[in-house]
């Protein structure tokens, strides 16, 4: 990472007083990579992509934690509602394979943005299912950018399921989010997506009903996907590291433009 937090989004990270942090997170499964396109090393250090090593370490930790017996907890919404949300959203199904591992060596790219749609981090998914490692890796990166007392309100298409699954494994000895950090992260569901959730889930997780979010709809990630959509066809057949380079560079361009627009909008 070579970019300062205050450069990513001055309006979020240049604050003197905290109390409004929010990030959004979403994956785009159009960014698959064909195995046949191969890979070659290039000398490039991505600014936005979290390194494969970091993501793999988080993944190993999640696997280890999941192998333990879950603790009995009372969910924030009825268990049947969580199960129904999980069943109706592909993103919540960690086992569901989005790509054929024989043909593809990356299934998608995940992005975390701030509430002004500025990209904070990107993550390449090179496993056919199992995507929780990316949101956890992104959250841990954000943790390093904010003061110890600042909290994160995280929007995610399946925030209800993620929230519950982090609580299930929140043993002090085997936490997925490091001890003391879990309490600082709350979840909501992106406004448009929340309408597809169970009614009881919407009452708890809809941003329209969550104090402090005002009119934020947390759909900035969709705007980002729309901005970079032309890369889908190009990157699928590139060497994998060239694909990372291209998405990373284009993200820098989109962020730069976003900063300029945000400045003039605030003005």
- C-alpha to C-alpha distances, 187 to 78, 176, 259, nearest whole angstrom: 16, 15, 26
Q: Which of residues 196-235 bind Zn ion (CB under 5 A)?
A: 197, 201
How far apart are CB 12 and Zn ion at their closest, in Å?
Answer: 3
When asked if residue 131 is in the footprint of Zn ion (CB under 5 A), the reply is no
Min separation Cβ 20 and Zn ion, Å: 10
- Quick count: other Cβ atoms within 10 Å of Cβ 14? 12
- Does residue number 9 form part of the binding site for Zn ion (CB under 5 A)? yes
Rounded least distance, CB 33 to Zn ion, Å: 29
CA 162 to each of CA 66, 86, 119, 130: distance values in angstroms, whole numbers, following the listed order: 13, 10, 21, 12
> 62 or 114: whose CB is closer to Zn ion?
114
- Of 5, 12, 221, 231, the residue at the interface with Zn ion (CB under 5 A) is 12
Least Cα distance to 25 among 231, 230, 163, 209 occurs for 163
Rule CB under 5 A: say whether 116 interacts with Zn ion.
Answer: yes
For the chain, the helix, strand and coil percentages under 3-state DSSP, each to the nearest 5: 45, 15, 40
Written as six digits, the tokens of 188 are 């909501």
Number of residues forming the site for Zn ion (CB under 5 A): 9
Residue 169 engages Zn ion in binding (rule: CB under 5 A): no
> Both tokens of residue 122?
């990107």
Residue 11 binds Zn ion (CB under 5 A):
yes
Residue 49: strand pairing partners: 122
The reply to whether 114 sits near Zn ion by the rule CB under 5 A is: yes
CB of 120 to Zn ion, least distance (A): 8
Output 205 or 245, the one with its CB closest to Zn ion.
205
- 155: contact with Zn ion by CB under 5 A: no
User: From the DSSP assignment, how many helices (H) and strands (E) are in the chain?
Assistant: 11, 7
């Amino acid at each position: 990472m070579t970019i300062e937090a205050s450069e990513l989004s001055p309006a979020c990270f240049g604050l003197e007083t905290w109390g409004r942090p929010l990030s959004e997170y979403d994956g785009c499964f159009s960014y698959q990579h064909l195995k046949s396109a191969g890979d070659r090393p290039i000398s490039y250090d991505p600014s936005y992509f979290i390194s494969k090593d970091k993501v793999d370490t988080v993944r190993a930790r999640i696997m280890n934690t999941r192998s333990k017996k879950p603790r009995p907890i009372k969910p924030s919404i009825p268990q049947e509602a969580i199960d129904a949300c999980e069943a109706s959203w592909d993103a919540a199904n960690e086992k569901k394979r989005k790509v054929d591992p024989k043909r593809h060596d990356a299934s998608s790219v995940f992005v975390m943005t701030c509430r002004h749609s500025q990209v904070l981090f990107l993550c390449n998914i090179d496993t056919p299912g199992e995507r929780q490692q990316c949101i956890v890796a992104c959250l841990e990166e954000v943790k390093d950018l904010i003061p110890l007392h600042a909290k994160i309100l995280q929007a995610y298409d399946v925030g209800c399921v993620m929230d519950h699954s982090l609580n299930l494994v929140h043993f002090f000895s085997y936490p997925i989010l490091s001890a003391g950090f879990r309490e600082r992260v709350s979840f909501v569901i992106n406004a448009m997506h929340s309408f597809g959730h169970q009614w009881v889930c919407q009452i708890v997780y809809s941003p329209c009903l969550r104090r402090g979010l005002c009119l934020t709809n947390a759909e900035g990630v969709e705007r980002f996907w729309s901005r970079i959509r032309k890369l889908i066809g190009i990157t699928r057949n590139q060497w994998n590291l060239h694909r990372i380079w291209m998405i990373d560079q284009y993200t820098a361009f989109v962020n730069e433009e976003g900063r300029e627009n945000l400045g003039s909008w605030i003005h």
